[in-house]
Amino acid sequence: MGETKQFFAHRGVSGEYPENTMAAFRAAAKVKAHGIELDVQLTKDGEVVVIHDETIDRTTNGIGYVKDFVWNQLKRFDAGSWFHPKFSRESVPLLEEVLQWVTTLNYPLLVNVELKNDIIDYPELEEKVLQLIDLYHLQSQCILSSFNKASLKKINELNHSIETAYLIEGIPVDILKVVENIPVKAIHCEASFAQSIIGKKVQERGYPIRVFTINTMNEYNNLIKSNVSAIITDYPEIFLENKVIE
């Protein structure tokens, strides 16, 4: 019998709460998810905010690019009503707000911070994220991930002790060469990669694999033989209630 897998709440418990809001993160802690996954970008005045899309159109009542708003403007938008009217008071949180909250919990919640800088270049995003993690002494509880190889390389140069993870889609055949050159400590991928021969080779080289976004027991059961380290899910309670183990 293997170790219990870790279950990360994808953008918080985003199946039942508006994604990337404090309500979604609190729900993850309530069910004792092992971790939360969230996305960060920069405002016009350089604040690190938690939001997935480059624009605010889908998840708020505003329109425009995150990078074009200063924090005082962005925080006024409603980031919950798009999901359900009862969440109308939710707003786009600062990464600092989330990290500060994490320090108040009675267990060491892991935080997977995805840097959303593969489409828009955010100067000094890496430095700002690392500074906030240092400020709250959460180095051992944070994982920094990105699709952006240059960003991960920069993080490693700034702080080679913090865990980094390369985000991929599909099954890139040159993955081993890529991750050795960045370098990173883990791979975040789709189920197809975890189940592939290349995925197995990556694990044999000592890289943990975390799989997104697994939302049903059927999807999970198909992964059992793949020996993945963690599941990233919109519904962590499904797996935690079933006390899933390898």
User: Is 10 a known active-site residue?
Assistant: yes
Residue 223 has which token pair? 């992964």
The pTM of the full predicted model, rounded to 2 decimals, is 0.96
To the query of whether residue 52 is one of the catalytic residues in this protein, the response is yes
* C-beta neighbour count of 223 within 10 angstroms: 18
Q: What percent of the chain has pLDDT over 90?
A: 95
What is the mean pLDDT of the segment spanning 130-150? 98
Is 60 exceeded by the pLDDT of residue 179?
A: yes
Q: How far is CA 39 from CA 43, 133, 147, 223, in A?
A: 13, 15, 12, 25
Has residue 103 got a pLDDT over 80?
A: yes
Closest alpha carbon to 101 in 138, 129, 53, 46: 138
Report residue 2's pLDDT band, with 50, 70 and 90 as the boundaries.
Answer: very low
- Considering 34, 52, 160, 188, which one is annotated as catalytic? 52
**Whether pLDDT at 189 is above 50:** yes
